[in-house]
Amino acid sequence: MARVHVQSWQETYRGLVPDAVLDDPGFPAARERQWLNAFTDPRWATQRIAVAEHGGPLVGLAMTGPSDDDPDLMHLYVLYLLAEHHGSGTGTDLLHAVIDPDKVTTLWVAERNPRAQAFYRKYGFELDGGSKIEGGVLDLRMVRRPGPLSRT
């Protein structure tokens, strides 16, 4: 999971996130710790986690859980897919595996990542005007209201 997390960041965020972050030798170990915590720390017990495989190895992962800002809301914390699987339907499958269509769900998306924004809009997420700068990147908040989650 850490390998997919790191590789997908390197493929997706190169040019958005400083190379020093993406190429940091400690980056994979930090993600290994993150995923170990997601499976072992009781704080994360309510998270929904899904992975996607293609011919054996993992190619994508997703995770939702209660929002840090409002525990009554769900938040999509992770939806990462290796670039070679973009457009394959795997991202849609991962989203469906972790989203509860009956709950308001929020997420943060890089302002300079129009591909991701378009993907989320397709599934009912809308920009709500919220923004933050994290790691030098402007992130925009998107919100999805309860309702059917389309497959297209």
The phi and psi torsions of 57 (rounded to 5 degrees) equal -75, 155
pLDDT for residue 70 = 86
pLDDT for residue 151 = 66
Q: Which CATH architecture has domain 2-144?
A: 3-Layer(aba) Sandwich (3.40)
The tokens describing 84, both together, are 């070679």
Closest CA to 2 of 56, 83, 107, 80: 80
Instruction: Report, as an integer, the average pLDDT of 19-46.
Output: 91
pLDDT for residue 43 = 84
pLDDT for residue 110 = 94
The pLDDT tens digits of the residues spanning 69-121 come to 888 899 999 999 999 999 999 999 999 999 999 999 999 999 999 999 999 99
pLDDT for residue 152 = 62
